[in-house]
Structure 1
Amino acid sequence: MTPDNRNKIDEVIHDMLSVDYPNGAAAWKMVRRKLDGEDPEGFRLRLKTALDRFVN
């Protein structure tokens, strides 16, 4: 993550979770629910796939 793409990464995560941007508290709450839910490994894989384009 770089300072230049930080906001874009944040927007991608919010979009993935269907949380209005920039509601950070709601986004982190949803991340915790997803990680504690029925398919945490699936969520991790989807998150990794969504963020792979930001890896240098």
Structure 2
Amino acid sequence: MSKNKQQLIELACKGDKQALENLLVICQPDIKRFARRTSVQARKILMMRCKLHYGSYIEK
């Protein structure tokens, strides 16, 4: 992690609004990538649960 990012984290934790805004701008690509990956994984888990749940009704 860069020294600048670490400093922004420390300032944001202390309540510096501008540091938090800067940190969000810097980290936006990482945040978006995490959100997309998490969303895809969540959909896969939901589909698997639905298949398992409704599959038991179909087999009866």
Shorter-chain-normalised TM-score: which range? 0.3 to 0.5
Higher relative contact order (CA 8 A, sep 6+): 1
Which protein shows a greater Rg? 2
Alignment TM-score, normalising by the size of structure 2 = 0.36
Q: Greater helix share, 1 or 2? A: 2
TM-score with structure 1 setting the length: 0.37
